[in-house]
Each structure stands twice: as C-alpha cells, then as structure tokens.
Amino acid sequence: MDAGLLAQFVANGLMLGMMYALVAVGFTLFFGVLDVIKFSHGDVLTVGTFAGFSTFLGLKAIGVANPWVQVAAVMLIACGAMAILGALIARYLVMPLKGAPALNVLLLTLMLGTVLRESVRLFFPDGANPKPFPKLLPTDALALGSFTLRLDSAILFVAGLAVIVAIHLLINRTKLGLAIRAVAQDEETAKTMGINFTLIVLATFALGSGVAAFAGIMNGLYYNEINFGMGLLLGVIGFSAAIIGGLGNIYGAILGGFLFAALQTLSVVALPFASAYKDVFAFAVVIVLMTIWPTGLIAEKTSERV
C-alpha cells in the first residue's frame, strides 16, 4: 500500500480514537465514583452537540461572525450546559437509587437516554433530519502525495489531547482529583475523612458529561453533520472502549478508545469490502478480546480505580 495512503488511514484513526477515548473516560469516571453504568451518556453527548449548534445559530442571528469567537462559545456553552445536566442527573436520578439493585440504575439511564434522544428529535426544529454542522475551523490542508493533513483535524486532535492531559492533571495533581480517587477507592473511609461525597459525585458526573459534549462538538466539526441518533453509536463504542480497556481505569479507557478506532481503520485497510463492515469487524474483535481478557487490557485494581 502507498505510504501516503497508509498515513492517511493512521491520521483518520487517531482522530476517531480521540473522540472514542473522550466518551469512554466519562463511563469510567461514573463507574469509578458510584459503581454505575450511565447508559444515557451517549445521548447527553447528542444534547450537548445540539446545544452547541443552537449557540452557533444564536450567534449568527445576532451578527457574531468571527469563527474563533463562535467555536469558543459553542464549546463553552455545550460543555457547561452538559456539565450542569450531568450533575442534575446524578443528584436527582442516580443518587436516589444508590442503594437499589444495579439493574434499576441501568434501566433508568437507558430510559433517560431515550427521553433525551427523542426530545431532540421532537422538539428541535426539523430534529428528525440531519443538520449541517458549521465549518468553524480553518479548512486549509497540507498535501504530501496521497496524504492530506487537514488543519481543522490537527486542531481538533490537539484540543482533544489537551483535554485528556487536563483530566490527568486534575485527577492526579489537584485536591478535587485526590478526593475523586479517595471516593473511588473507599467511599466510607473517604466520608470518614471529611470528604463531601455528594459534591464529589456531582463534580465527577459534571466532568464526564462536559467531556462528552466536547467529544460531540469534535464529531460535528470533523464530519460537518449531526443528527439526533449520533450518540447511540458513539455511546456504545465508548462503553465498549471502557470495558475492553478496563472499566474503572481512565488510562484503560483511553487505550480502549484508540484500540477500537485502530480496529475500524484496520478493517478498512485490510478487508476487501472496505468500510461497509468496519463496525461489525471492530465489535467482533472486541468480543473475542473480552473473552480473553474479561477484566480488560488494564485490569482494575481497587487502589487505582480512577
């Protein structure tokens, strides 16, 4: 295969992997602090993306045309709104079921995801049809033979990497991160030491949901199209990435996200029927890997869950 074309596939895979990793991190954060699987996570991503799209339409309506101002406002509003939504979901829907069977929380978040998704479809103007997401980033490209590096893709990848680094620093270098790790390791001991358990749960759900919105905006800027069902597949892939990486381990979630993207890319490169079955191939391999490593590639350790 031509080296330039191979480099193009690698670049595309890295971009996909970054989006999947950001979604997977949310699942890991939720599980780490409260031992719950929040199946509405992908649909929160959808709502955040449409909130960002609505912000763009509002700015356009009042005459704000600077694309950098637009993209900054879209990101801030989308991530901020979903952080608030995530905290509200945790406070009023998830935490009241803390002592209930795990299946209750699973069912509740599954139904909540349907409510969010259908609300976008029903109440957003013409919400049942795909929307063209604006090209807010520079569209210049560097062509090297059959390899083309899009400037907007490079900016998005660096921005996603910056978010991952920021999460790493927050978890490992701040008092909030120390409290999150303490709650993830031993909730009762953390409470005894004076940590506000409710506040930490709300902050963690806000963080995970805000990061999901960031991933959704990245997806919209990369593909220049959004739809009300976009969070379904992204949520399933993100959850799969978190599981195969090792649910409860942030670095495992990141690894799982890039692994899933690598599998999709490999299927496009290696299989004769190209991209038509890339998701089928990737999920099939993940199923096999789960039977080999049931606890994930990075096995969870009680002392290192988040």
Q: What is the pLDDT of residues 156-182, one digit of tens each?
A: 999 999 999 999 999 999 999 999 999
Question: Residue range 27-41: average pLDDT?
Answer: 92
From first CA to last CA, the distance across the chain in angstroms is 41
From residue 119, alpha-carbon distances to 44, 113, 123, 261, 268 in Å are: 11, 10, 6, 30, 35
Is residue 56 within 8 Å of 42, Cβ to Cβ? no
Is residue 127 within 8 Å of 228, Cβ to Cβ? yes
| Burial grade of 223 (CB within 10 A; 0-12, 13-18, 19 or more) | exposed
Question: Residue range 51-79: average pLDDT?
Answer: 96
Question: Residue range 62-71: average pLDDT?
Answer: 95
Tokens of 244: 């195969």
What's the pLDDT at 207? 97
Which one, of 21, 17, 35, 20, lies nearest residue 300 by Cα?
35
Asked if residue 242 has pLDDT above 90, the reply is yes
Is residue 279 within 8 Å of 221, Cβ to Cβ? no
Question: Residue range 97-119: average pLDDT?
Answer: 92
Q: Which residue would you say has higher pLDDT here, 206 or 299? A: 206
pLDDT tier for residue 299 given thresholds of 50, 70 and 90: low
Asked if residue 302 has pLDDT above 50, the reply is no
What's the pLDDT at 306? 52
What's the pLDDT at 92? 96
- Mean predicted lDDT score pLDDT of the chain: 91
Asked if residue 7 has pLDDT above 50, the reply is yes
The H-assigned helical ranges of the chain are 3-34, 41-61, 67-89, 102-123, 151-173, 175-185, 187-192, 197-223, 230-245, 250-270, 278-292
What's the pLDDT at 5? 78
When mean pLDDT is compared across 79-93, 199-213, 290-304, the lowest value belongs to: 290-304
Q: In what helix (H) or strand (E) does residue 148 lie, and over which residues does it extend? A: strand 147-150
Question: Residue range 11-24: average pLDDT?
Answer: 94
Asked if residue 303 has pLDDT above 50, the reply is no
What's the pLDDT at 34? 87
User: Which pTM value belongs to this model?
Assistant: 0.93
Q: How far is CA 298 from the centre of its chain?
A: 19
The domains found in the chain, sorted by start residue, are 8-139+150-304 (1.10.3470)
Asked if residue 47 has pLDDT above 70, the reply is yes
Residues in the chain: 306
Asked if residue 274 has pLDDT above 60, the reply is no
With pLDDT > 70 as the criterion, what percentage of the chain qualifies? 95
Q: What is the pLDDT of residues 111-158, one digit of tens each?
A: 999 999 999 999 999 999 999 999 999 988 888 777 888 899 999 999
What's the pLDDT at 32? 87
Residues 6+ apart with CB under 8 A from 62: none
Asked if residue 44 has pLDDT above 80, the reply is yes
